[in-house]
Every structure is written in C-alpha cells, then in structure tokens.
Structure 1
C-alpha cells in the first residue's frame, strides 16, 4: 500500500485508532468535572440555570462516554494483535497498570454512571451529587493509570530484564517515573481547556444566532473563566514538561527544535519556521532568533540545546513531523491564552456577550483544544521513535508478524467503520449541542430528560431530545 511496509501500516493503524479515541476521553474528563461543578452550584445557590445546564450537558456527556468506551476497546485488542512482541516484552508492566485502571476507574464510573444519568428524581439530591462526583473522580483516576503506563514507556524505571522480558521490581518507581507527574498534569489540564472551548463555542454559536438567555450566558461565562485561569497554567506546566524531556529524551527536543548542530560555545537559536530535512541533515528556510532557544529550553544563555547530529541517524525521531506538530500545539495554546485575556477585558467592559467578533473567534476556537492535544500527542509519540520503550525496545522489534496485505485490509476497514460509526455519533452530539439547553426558571417540577419521571430509564434516554426530535422530523417528512 503506497510502498509502505507492514511496520508502517501497523503504526498508522494504531495512530489512527488512538487519535480517534483520545478525543472522547478528553471531553469526558472535562465534562464530568463540569457537571459536578454545575450540580454543586445548583445545590448551593438553588439557581435553576445550573440545573438546566446540567441536564443539557449530561446528554452530551452520555453520548461522548459511550463512544469513548467503544473506541478504547479496539486499542486494547490491538496490543495483542499488532504489537504482540511488545506485549510479550513489557506486558508485566503495562498489563497490570491497565488492569488497575479497569478495577479502579472504570468500575467506579460504571457503578455510578447509571445513578448520575437516570437517578435525578429517583435518589436524594445528596446521593445524586455524590454519584456525579464519583464519575468525575473516576475519569481522573483513569487518566492517572493510562498516563502512568504511557509515561513509563517514555522514561522507564523500576524494572529488571530477565530472560528477555521486563520484570517490575519497584511498582512505585514504575508508576511515578520521571516524566509521569508532568505528563499527567499536562493531559488533565488539556482536557479541561479543550472542554472549556467546546462549551464556550456552543454558547457563542447560540448567542450569534440571537438566542440570549441566562443559561447560554452562564455557559460562556464559565467557559471563559476556565480559559483565563487554566490556559496560562498549561503554558507553565508545558515549560516544566519540556525541561523534563530535555533531561530524559534529548533527541526528542533536538527534533522538535529542528536543531542539527551547535556552533562552538554559542547559545542555541530558536527556529520559528523551517522545513527539517532528515536526508540532508539540515532545516531548510530556517527563520531563527539568536539565543532564544537556549533561553527557553535551558532557562540560561550559557547552555546549548542538544543537536540532532550528536545522535546516530538510526536514533533520530522524524524532525519534520514533530517540528510542526509542536508549533501547532504552541500556537493554539497562545491563541487560547489570548482569548481568555480578551474575555476578561470584555467582561470588565460589559461586552462579553455582545461583541460579535469575539463570539465568532470563540466559536471557531471550539475544536482548538482538541487539535492542540492531538498535536501534543503526535509530538510525544513520534518524538519517542525509534523506541517503543525508550532505550529498551525499538518499535521495529515490537510489532507482530503480519503481512502488508493483512494490515492494509484492516486499516481500510478501520477507516471506513470509524468514520461511519463515530462520524454518526459525533454528528448526533453536535445536533444536541445546536438545540441548546431548555430553561425552566423558577420551576422545580420534572420536565423529562435523563432519569426524570417522564423518561424511560433506558440508556439512550440520556440523550432523548435528539431522538424525539428526529422522530418528529421523520413524521413531518412522511406527511
């Protein structure tokens, strides 16, 4: 297929499935915490706007949660089918870590999800709020274990190699490996930022179409507060993560910067733009700022950053890809910080809900957090190459013995099925977003929706508005 080898197809297949999957957990993590905050504020203030927003976003959460579970199962099977030699080599570490994720996070989420979605008028308010909080905690625990496993592959420690297999000897060292705290914080914050802009874009869309009510305004206000506070924190965490990567994976930093060689003892420049060429071993059309590379990456002007030519060619990541994926992530991050600051200025000036230029920008920024997160993951994973477990096992030695034909067929099937299945699910989720929240100010009686007395307790009823509306549309078309 296009001259690709079996290893290339196996990598593309896993990259494709994991890229689809990561979008859903990111929104799930953010929305679960958002729902907990909404219900907590409703219980504290008795402001029914928070209750209406809870019902609205719980439907979107339910659809997103379901798609995340389905897409995650596929990846678990891929470890055994496409990467069996990796599983044989490192399964004693990665297997238990993923098992802990199921035993703690998934069981916690599954145990309380039904109460959260369908128990609004069937259990007490305190118990329902507790269930919502437990689901939110479960998503964060899941993040903990997944990042522990992936971070260990980036910076392995706490192991011995016995008979060609990794054996864990210190689980605390395995879990709390050198890159884990930075990567956990970076991912969790990324999920909150991505959700904030998803929620903010939904509110901006409604405001631009003249639907201005307290619920829509509250959505935008809360989303922009989150962007203002969390986006700058993400930049600080990202800087700390970069220093950690420089210490433990210097080749990745060299590839990210497209930096091929140092000149004497001169500080390293920062390359803003360029096209790294792996064959010619240089970055073409480079636009450099002197000294800034050393200042940003080492926090000094007397240290140099690593150069790609100091590593053997077979140990160099693909600089062209990570150079640009990193810059996409940083550019979107800076733009999100700008949006947060602009929102604060407009809030002070009284124009947060009426400035159409700002609202259009927020609407366009809806997918920005997800795109930045994907770019960050591409940087992390491709920058780790050619290692699947850094310094211990090369990716070329980790794949199963499949033919090009087998991997081509399965890759094509994955692409077709994923776009049909998850494209439909995403379209349905967007349909729910376009409907917006129902508001029942001053009215505490049930109005249908998840877990309320007039809605059957079936799984799809967690997003019943879209199905009922779709049924009405179908009847209108028939008539």
Structure 2
C-alpha cells in the first residue's frame, strides 16, 4: 500500500510540474513564429501596425520564454530524483535526445534571443529579422527533439535490450519512430492554435472595453484567419494520429472510446460512438452511455461496420485509467470543435462587416482564450495516462521506473512544488495578463526611442513594460 501511494505521488508530482511547463513552451512556440511573421510583414509593407504589434508581443514572449526555461529545468532533475530506474533503463536514448535539444535548439535560441529582444535599432533590420526567424526555428527544433524522446517512449524501436538496459542500434529508427511524425505535427499545430486564441482573446478584450484601434483590429483579424485556416486542418491531423495510435496502442484507443467489447459491437451492428458516459472499470462497462450507432466504426476504421479491440481483450493490469482517458479525450475534441466553430463564425461576421463590433462574438472569442492551452493539457493527459501502465510502452512498467522514495518524502516535496509554483508562476501569469491589458502602443513614424548616434539607448526590458500607475480606468483610448 505504501509503495502504491509513493508511485501515485511521484506520478502526481511529475504531472503537476509538466502541466505548468507545457503551457509556456506552447505559447513561446506560437508567439515566436507570430513575431517572425509580424516583423517580416513590417519589412515588406512598411506598415507600422506590424512593427507596433511586434514590440507589444515580444515583451509577452520574453516573459513566457523565461518561465518555460525555469519550469523545464525542474522536470529534467525529476528524471534523476524520482525516476532513477527509468533513467538507468532508457537513459542511453532519452539522455542524448534531450542533449541534442540543448545543443541545437536551446543554444540557438539563447544565441539570438538577445539580439531579438535588445537589438532593435542597434543592428540592421535584416539581421534583427534573421534573429527573430532563428529564434522561431529554434523553438520548433526544441519541439522536434522533445517529441522524438516522448514518442519513442510511446512507440519504441531502433534499440536492443542488453543486460537490462536499452541500447540504441539505429538512431534514425529511434528518432523517427512510428508515432513521432503525427505527434510532432499535432503538437506544433496545437501550439499555433493556442497562441492564436490567446492573441484573439486579447484583442477581443480591448474591443469590448472600447479600445478600437487599427493595431487591435489587425491582431484580432490575424488570429481569426488562423482559426479559419488551421483549426479544420488540426482535426484531420488528429484523425491520422488516432489511426496511428489504434495500430500501435489499441488499449489507449479503447479507453478513449469507452469501448469494452461485447454487446456494443455485435456482429453486423458496427461500433457506436459513445458521446458521453461513465466508464466503470470494476463492472467493465460504460454506464449511462449516449451513443451514435456506426459512427465509431466510421471514425476509427473508416468503414460502416468495422470494429477495434475492446478493453476486455487486455488483462486488467494492462489497462489505463479509463475514466481519465475517456473524459480528457472528450475535452480535447470538444474544444477543437469549438475552435472550428469560432473560425466559421468569424467568416460570417467578417462577411457581414461586424467582425470587430459584434459583442456576442467578441465575448465568445474572449472565452475561448484559454481553450487552446486547456486542449493541449487534455491531449497530453490522454496520451500519457493512456500509455499506462507502461513508462516505455511494452518494455518497462511505471511501477518499475520510480525511485525508492517514501510516500512522506514525495508528499512533502509535492506540497512544496504546489506552493512555490503557484507563487512564482502565478506572479508570472499575472504579469503577462497585465502586459496584455496595457495593449499595443501606436507610434507614428520611425521608432526612435533607442539606438543610433546621439540617441538615448533604452533596452527593451519586458519587466519595465508596465507602468506602476496602470489601472482599469486607463486602458482605453478615451473610453471607459
């Protein structure tokens, strides 16, 4: 009983820290590319709106980048402190992959981040734009290596097990494992969508407050175009990802669908899609199920009466926690459908000429602000909990990977993590929202606040971007 509690606490601690960490890189991935687009458009069109939006969002990017680095360091240490047996077993693969991420992505980002943040009017426009693009590429390279490591844990290949340890024999097979391409694209697009929703919600907030200016309109329009073009594509990517998961991790898909096998997949009836219900792991059935006949077969097998393995075909000890996987998957899919709806409604409002002044639509866009990040977390829980009870699928169980710490030690450290994270990252999030509330500042002509012969040199300091006397009554252009 004590060992089980220690395992659950170790898993809860890692889930808590990674839940905080995944939010900040997702925003930095999307914002880095968004900043590259903004600066590129400014250089191409000379429209100062793009420049003003760049200077606004680069401050928010810097804050999120810093919080992402700090939260990532904690996760790296946990592999050695809480999951030492996993590190001993699979460290010869996960260690180099994470080292490649540092050598190729983090150093690349760090090398050009200073120029991007502090080099405006200190270097030429071409070099500054190049730095922004390099930082954006660096965030995607970082995603590449992190997803390669995690995907190998989901669908391991390219290795041999010698003396109880994994030994890589084909690095290309290790990196480009069967689930990696789908997970990489799915996660990258999710980061872009989450950022678009964040940007769109920020603009909607200002529009609802009466701060209707060209910069706010521009970022709202760009965010809505992103929803129109990318949200439906993400649904298609998710379908391919699901088919790949069905091939390599059928128990996870069965848990996602609440499919136990037996009466709900009788001969000739196909597989229904269970919309809602409560999977009962003891009774081995989904209670209170609301389902649509044959729709499960169409989605999962692309046929009218196709079936998939049910959970009863797997030993109880080889099944994931079905209720968590079942509901986290539905949260992710439900939010994805709302994103598609938001994009569709934006087209309708744009056609009617009411994109910027339809208050019910602006409220909807504002409410959807955190939806991208929530969907990412729900998808991550689906993926990671659905892999259980394996830490490396089919090779090593989670209970064999955890370090031999007492439940008391893990409980105390988890409590400390909760307190420190809520204080540190709570302050960071609050400051980010304060930056958002200030909004983009419109400047006429060429920016001359720093740099150049005889001009004052003021660094673009994210932590001094908000005046101390900012309050709710000062964030509108003449309105309240």
Report the TM-score range of the alignment, normalised by the length of the smaller protein: over 0.9
Contact 2:3/2:407, CA 8 A, preserved across alignment: no
2:280 is aligned to: 277
TM-score under structure 2 length normalisation? 0.95
1:382 to 1:453, Cα distance in 2 relative to 1, 3 A: farther
User: How big is each residue's C-alpha offset from its partner over 1:185-227, in whole Å with a ceiling of 9 and x where there is no partner?
Assistant: 0000000000000000000000001001100000100000011
Contact 2:449/2:458, CA 8 A, preserved across alignment: no
Q: Distance in 2 between matches of 1:381 and 1:328?
A: 15
1:444 is aligned to: 446
The residue correspondences of 1:148-159 to structure 2 (distance < 5 A) are 148-159=148-159
2:468 is aligned to: 470
The residue correspondences of 1:125-136 to structure 2 (distance < 5 A) are 125-136=125-136
How far is the alpha carbon of 1:4 from its aligned partner?
A: 6.5
Q: Distance in 1 between matches of 2:143 and 2:455?
A: 34
Q: Aligned to 1:271, what secondary structure does the other structure show?
A: strand
How far is the alpha carbon of 1:306 from its aligned partner?
A: 1.7
Q: Does residue 1:145 correspond to 2:142, yes or no?
A: no
1:92 is aligned to: 92
How far is the alpha carbon of 1:464 from its aligned partner?
A: 2.1
Q: Does residue 1:192 correspond to 2:195, yes or no?
A: no
Q: Aligned to 2:440, what secondary structure does the other structure show?
A: coil
Q: Does residue 1:321 correspond to 2:324, yes or no?
A: yes
Structure 1 segments unaligned to the other structure (5+ residues): 474-479
1:23 is aligned to: 23
Q: Does residue 1:370 correspond to 2:383, yes or no?
A: no
How far is the alpha carbon of 1:472 from its aligned partner?
A: 7.8
State the Cα RMSD in Å. Answer: 1.7
Q: Distance in 1 between matches of 2:455 and 2:127?
A: 17
Contact 1:121/1:453, CA 8 A, preserved across alignment: no
1:423 is aligned to: 426
1:476 is aligned to: none
How far is the alpha carbon of 1:462 from its aligned partner?
A: 2.9
2:392 is aligned to: 389
How far is the alpha carbon of 1:345 from its aligned partner?
A: 1.2
Contact 1:118/1:462, CA 8 A, preserved across alignment: no
Q: Distance in 2 between matches of 1:123 and 1:270?
A: 57
Q: Does residue 1:242 correspond to 2:274, yes or no?
A: no
Query: Across the two proteins, how many residue pairs are aligned to each other?
Result: 466
How far is the alpha carbon of 1:349 from its aligned partner?
A: 1.3
How far is the alpha carbon of 1:409 from its aligned partner?
A: 0.6
1:360 to 1:407, Cα distance in 2 relative to 1, 3 A: same
Structure 2 segments unaligned to the other structure (5+ residues): 472-480
1:44 is aligned to: 44
1:82 to 1:337, Cα distance in 2 relative to 1, 3 A: same
1:276 to 1:107, Cα distance in 2 relative to 1, 3 A: same
Q: Does residue 1:297 correspond to 2:297, yes or no?
A: no
Contact 1:62/1:463, CA 8 A, preserved across alignment: no
Q: Distance in 2 between matches of 1:113 and 1:300?
A: 50
User: How big is each residue's C-alpha offset from its partner over 1:279-304, in whole Å with a ceiling of 9 and x where there is no partner?
Assistant: 11111101111111111111112320
Contact 1:329/1:373, CA 8 A, preserved across alignment: yes
Contact 2:294/2:305, CA 8 A, preserved across alignment: no
2:314 is aligned to: 311
